[in-house]
Structure 1
Amino acid sequence: MSSNVYVEAQMLIRKPIEVVFEAFINPEVTTNFWFTKSTGKLEEGKTVTWEWEMYGVKNVVNVHQIIPNQLIKTVWGEPSVNVDYEFKTMEKGTLVVIKSYGFTQTGEEMLRQVNDNTGGFTTVLDGCKAYLEHGINLRLIEDKFPSK
């Protein structure tokens, strides 16, 4: 049974909505600020695998719905959760809101998962902003958990 708890992270990215949306569906762009490898572009009804090679981690991502330049609905992770990416045109650019929900954990496990999701998606949005606005790969994901 999943809870009513959800995580939300958001960021204004000062680029047109088409550019920002493409950054999340096209791994040729996304690998510059998030995962390092993908089996393909996000398409409605498809399943892709994202990989973070520096950590030896992979995630299967099921794409449930795509509304171009508005919404990407996915289910991924272990245990799996719903992750929605919402895009809205603003006066100064594009607002991206990432919502994660459907957690099945309880107690301390739930708190840890919510904390990980909040921090993780905030880092993704920060990296996306730096890359799309300034062409800089800050290596945020790689440096978040550096090996000793």
Structure 2
Amino acid sequence: MMPTQTLPHAEEFPERDIVVYDGSCRFCHSQVTKLAKWDKQQILAFVPLQHELVAVRYPDLTHDMLMKEMYLVSREGGRYGGVHALREISRRLHRLRWLRYWFRIPLATPITRLVYRTIARFRYRLWGRANRCDHGTCDVHFD
């Protein structure tokens, strides 16, 4: 799992809208890092799907669902997956306002869904996995 110390974490900011993403995916981590940078109003927090908080707080979001697409969990409790999460995030972040117009175009949503699903399916092949031992958990210790 990629380190998340640079991202506002869902444990620290439970009152924010929460983005649940694949913490083992290099591409996913780079994208949520951008979202955090663009979040000038500080309305988003992030949590990797691999974090134990996800299973406890969002038991309705299964591992299979989360491996297929990121989710936005709104403060009001709404769940938005994949393209719908992207649409909701574009409504919240000024930097992504152009996407609001994109989604108004007929066929934009199905096209975006196809691209999103293709990227999600091949994300590890294209960008690789994060080192599962980033935090020294796999180090060999000799006494």
Q: Same fold (TM over 0.5)?
A: no
**Whose radius of gyration is greater, 1 or 2?**
2
Higher percent of residues as helix: 2
TM-score by length of structure 1 reads 0.30
TM-score by length of structure 2 reads 0.31
Higher percent of residues as strand: 1
